[in-house]
């Protein structure tokens, strides 16, 4: 059945205390503060961010906490409660893309991006409960918690919105994952009870009310247990295909394509042209779906009406963008058959989670139907939990 999102983050005081204690144990003294940044689930607008398009994420209740203190010996010392025994120490001046790698690359990349502000170095303890590799943006939660900490401690002139680029540079240039700004924007800028409507071209935002509980709805995240890694493989391929399609169409970005009819020049009869047409068609229709969902949420008190748009988004990711998996397709189809209002895969694709919009009274039925179908198909058991649009990055203590 559906397990509620219950974690230490439900109690910020406990979460902050745990991080502070773990910091003291690792570094022999108290941190200067504790910060938290959430993972995200995108309501709609997938792979549009690096095409200058629209996105509509909500923050998860799950966060990464960073306990941080400045040092004066020029070292960056990194410890993670999720990777016990892997203490990383490197001097600020020796930080370079890929060094350190692994989980430490995200906080180290943030320190690298702000290295002039922290020449004496920092000690960082991170602790979190955003499921990793599930399309829920655990990496942005990690980098944004550290970015906000360094801003508060050493770069007060930076606005929170400026940290989107700090965290993105950590991911793109240091870790080497060619992502857009969806995840960092969601983690830093989301507010409780709202979805964040973001135009990734001009960075304008609107907080769109999304009170699921009042509408008797639940947003169920179904983690299929299949992982992805955006630093390798398909994600970068899709990004290049989108750039090629924009170039062939003579537009700055696929955002500038007004409608599907304008994609006709891509259809030159070659297999390559057919692929580019499909990739670009996903982006053009997905941008339209974001605008449609925002319109519905602004106009109707019944968010269930966005369900069919979410399901259409899944079909587009599956058939045109070709980044779904058999597990994700199965979760989405089963949710629909069990009476969900809508369902789609979320995040970068090639694994990860699906999101299901469902009447609160049906959540358990839907979760059970997915469990049963996965068992029948011989897939590993999925993990389902309900989420509410939660708070963006903040200082806890
Ligand atoms: C990943 C990336 F990090 C985001 O920038 C975005 O492109 C997303 O995949 C797909 O919408 O999470």
ipTM of the complex: 0.99
Q: Which residues are catalytic?
A: 183
User: What is the pLDDT tens value at each position of the chain, 397 positions in all?
Assistant: 334 333 445 688 899 999 999 999 999 999 999 999 999 999 999 999 999 999 999 999 999 999 999 999 999 999 999 999 999 999 999 999 999 999 999 999 999 999 999 999 999 999 999 998 888 999 999 999 999 999 999 999 999 999 999 999 999 999 999 999 999 999 999 999 999 999 999 999 999 999 999 999 999 999 998 876 665 679 999 999 999 999 999 999 999 999 999 999 999 999 999 999 999 999 999 999 999 999 999 998 789 999 999 999 999 999 999 999 999 999 999 999 999 999 999 999 999 999 999 999 999 999 999 999 999 999 999 999 999 999 999 999 9
Alpha carbon of 230 to ligand 1 centroid (Å) = 9
| Number of Cβ within a 10 Å radius of residue 377 | 11
Contacts (Cβ under 8 Å, ≥6 apart) of 247: none
Q: Which atom of ligand 1 is nearest to the CA of 45?
A: 11
Q: What is the pTM of this model?
A: 0.95
| CA separation for the pair 55, 228 (Å, rounded) | 21
Contact between 16 and 53 under an 8 Å Cβ cutoff? The reply is no
Which residue's CA is the nearest one to ligand 1's atom 3? 179
3-state SS, residue 134: coil
The tokens 């960073």 sit on which residue?
66
157's tokens: 């002139």
Please state the separation of Cα 141 from the chain's center in Å: 8
Helix (H, G, I), strand (E, B) or coil at 4: strand
173 CB-side CA count, 13 A: 14
Neighbours of 157 (CB within 10 A): 7
Mutate to test the pocket of ligand 1, among 138, 143, 310, 347 (most ligand atoms within 8 A of CB): 347
Structure tokens at 183: 């995840």
Distance from residue 383's CA to the centre of ligand 1 (Å)? 22
């Amino acid at each position: 059945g559906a397990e509620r999102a219950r974690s230490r983050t439900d109690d910020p005081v406990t979460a902050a205390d745990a991080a502070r204690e773990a910091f003291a144990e690792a570094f022999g003294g108290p941190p200067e503060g504790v910060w938290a940044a959430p993972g995200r689930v995108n309501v709609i607008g997938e792979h549009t961010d690096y095409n200058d398009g629209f996105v509509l994420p909500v923050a998860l209740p799950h966060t990464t906490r960073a306990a941080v203190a400045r040092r004066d010996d020029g070292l960056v010392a990194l410890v993670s409660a999720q990777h016990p025994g892997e203490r990383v120490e490197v001097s600020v001046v020796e930080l370079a893309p890929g060094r350190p790698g692994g989980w430490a690359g995200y906080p180290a990349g943030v320190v690298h991006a702000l290295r002039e502000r922290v020449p004496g170095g920092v000690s960082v303890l991170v602790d979190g409960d955003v499921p990793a590799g599930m399309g829920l943006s655990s990496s942005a939660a990690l980098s944004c918690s550290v970015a906000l900490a360094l801003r508060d401690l050493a770069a007060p002139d930076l606005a929170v919105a400026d940290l989107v680029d700090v965290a993105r540079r950590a991911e793109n240039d240091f870790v080497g994952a060619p992502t857009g700004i969806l995840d960092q924007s969601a983690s830093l800028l989301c507010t409780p009870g709202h979805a964040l409507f973001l135009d990734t071209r001009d960075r304008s935002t609107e907080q769109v009310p999304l009170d699921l509980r009042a509408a008797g709805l639940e947003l169920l995240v179904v983690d299929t247990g299949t992982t992805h890694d955006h630093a390798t493989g398909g994600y970068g391929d899709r990004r290049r295909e989108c750039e090629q399609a924009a170039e062939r169409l003579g537009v700055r970005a696929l955002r500038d394509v007004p409608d599907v009819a304008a994609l006709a020049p891509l259809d030159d009869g070659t297999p390559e042209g057919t692929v580019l047409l499909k990739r670009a068609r996903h982006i053009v229709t997905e941008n339209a779906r974001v605008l449609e969902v925002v319109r519905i949420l602004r106009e109707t008190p019944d968010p269930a009406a966005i369900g069919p748009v979410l399901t259409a988004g899944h079909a587009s990711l599956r058939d045109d963008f070709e980044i779904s998996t058999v597990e994700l397709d199965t979760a989405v189809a089963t949710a629909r058959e069990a009476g969900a209002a809508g369902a789609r895969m979320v995040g970068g694709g090639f694994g990860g989670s699906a999101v299901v919009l469902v009447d609160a009274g049906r959540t358990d039925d839907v979760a059970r139907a997915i469990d049963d179908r996965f068992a029948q198909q011989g897939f590993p058991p999925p993990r389902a939990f309900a989420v509410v649009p939660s708070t963006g990055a903040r200082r806890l203590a």
